[in-house]
Structure 1
Amino acid sequence: MRQNPSFTLASEEGVKRLVRAHPWATIVSHTRERGLVASHYPVLLDEDADGIVLLTHVGRPDEQVHELGEHEVLVVVQGPHGYISPGWYDARPAVPTWNFTTAHLHGTPEILSADDNLAVLDALVAHFESGMAEPRLMRGTAENAAYAERIVAGTVGLRIPITRFEAKDKMSQNKPPETVERIIAELEGDGPYADAALAREMRRARDERAVAEPGR
């Protein structure tokens, strides 16, 4: 991913924030048998680990398709993104662009034991069910626990310590404050490219910049 100093997301905490908010990830492997392969799974952060460590699972036989544990994988996580029209700037000539947040995370997966795999599946379900009025937990009842014990064999749990990453947070940081405000207003409007989630991300980036660069 080509980097630009204005948009580089260099902090681990910034990447962790992205993963927490947008846990649907793309896992890419360069394999001996099939060349490039990709799969899509939810991920969680191991909040007790040093650095960035992902917890996830794949359904069999994806662990064989990816040849997991034999090589480094690329995990791509992406936040809100959208088209930015030059008509939202001023009268001077300009070209359109695309605002986005994304991270490319590199690490070699560790295959988990059956017990640890079940714990990861349990944590994934608990995480996403936490917002439900009546959470359906994997082991919330004896019947659910028995079912979980049966299906766990069809999955492979992974722990992926991230050894390096490239991340980008492109939210019009290179534009004057008044232009940023116009873009946010358009994204919060009712036009064809309105995007409330992207507007929130732009406000976050604007506020972070104001703290880091007071007076701008």
Structure 2
Amino acid sequence: MYIPPAFREDDPAILRELMRGTGLANLVTATADGPIATPLPLVLAADEGEQGVLYGHLAKANMQWKTPVIGEALALFMGPDAYVTPSWYAAKAEHGKVVPTWNYVAVHAYGPIEFFEDETRLLAVVKRVTELHEGPRTTPWQVSDAPEAYIKSQLRGIVGLRLPITRLEGKRKMSQNRSAADRIGVAEGLADSDKATDRLVAGLIPTMD
């Protein structure tokens, strides 16, 4: 990922928070037949390894886990994003030398990937994913709410994955390369949007120097 210095995010705590805040990641592996990508919910175990370990599962019918991987796997986490019109820049009225862009947050996690079918490990991963997303609910659904035989049958249709992170790249592109007046204009423009994601991005833009 190309990361200009102004947009680089290296703080491990912030990177972990960004990964946890992404509901769906993309798992990419390089193979002799070309790259393969699968959208997956991934769970970060930050206390494992030097930079954490990602866990998840995919359908057993998905050929990605059966296809030999070349090098490391890549997990792509995309955070909030929004289109930025040059009409919001103060610089537009001054000299007109402005163009559209896109603000976004992204984290790339690299590491060797392991796929597994062991039922005990699979069940642990399914519980991790479930607890992460059900936890905030008033009445969380638990894996144990379903009949044990049914859960066992479901486990036979999936494969687990473990990805120890060896390298992290973080990018937070939030108009940091623009003047304070331009950043304020972008933040105000996005805050007035009907889109919830635009309003979320508005709150991430630094408006003070």
TM-score norm. by structure 1 comes to 0.84
**d(CA) in 2 for partners of 1:88, 1:9:** 25
1:130 Cα offset (Å): 1.7
Which of 149, 152, 177 is 2:155 aligned to?
152
Is the 1:57–1:121 contact (alpha carbons within 8 Å) kept by the matching residues of 2? yes
Structure 1 residues 124 and 197: CA distance shift in structure 2, 3 A: same
* Alignment pair present for 1:85 and 2:69: no
Moved more, 56-65 or 6-15: 56-65
Structure 1 stretches of at least 4 aligned residues deviating more than 4 Å after TM superposition: 63-66, 68-71, 191-194
* Alignment pair present for 1:198 and 2:197: no
Matched AA of 2:121: D
Tell me the SS of whatever aligns to 1:36. Answer: strand
| Alignment match, 2:167 | 164
| Alignment match, 2:109 | 105
Q: Which runs of 5+ in 2 are unaligned?
A: none
| Alignment match, 1:173 | 176
Structure 1 residues 167 and 154: CA distance shift in structure 2, 3 A: same
Identity of aligned residues (%): 30
Matched AA of 1:41: L
**d(CA) in 2 for partners of 1:190, 1:199:** 9
| Alignment match, 1:135 | 140
Structure 1 residues 105 and 187: CA distance shift in structure 2, 3 A: same
* Deviation per residue, 1:58-99 (Å, 9 max, x gap): 111325556267742111110111111111111132111110
TM-score norm. by structure 2 comes to 0.86
| Alignment match, 2:128 | 123
Matched AA of 1:144: P
Q: Which runs of 5+ in 1 are unaligned?
A: 211-215
RMSD across aligned positions (CA):
2.3
| Alignment match, 1:28 | 28
Paired residues in the alignment total 203
Moved more, 75-84 or 129-138: 129-138
Tell me the SS of whatever aligns to 2:5. Answer: coil
**d(CA) in 2 for partners of 1:99, 1:144:** 45
**d(CA) in 2 for partners of 1:64, 1:180:** 42
**d(CA) in 2 for partners of 1:23, 1:102:** 13
Structure 1 residues 87 and 105: CA distance shift in structure 2, 3 A: same
1:115 Cα offset (Å): 0.7
**d(CA) in 1 for partners of 2:138, 2:196:** 33
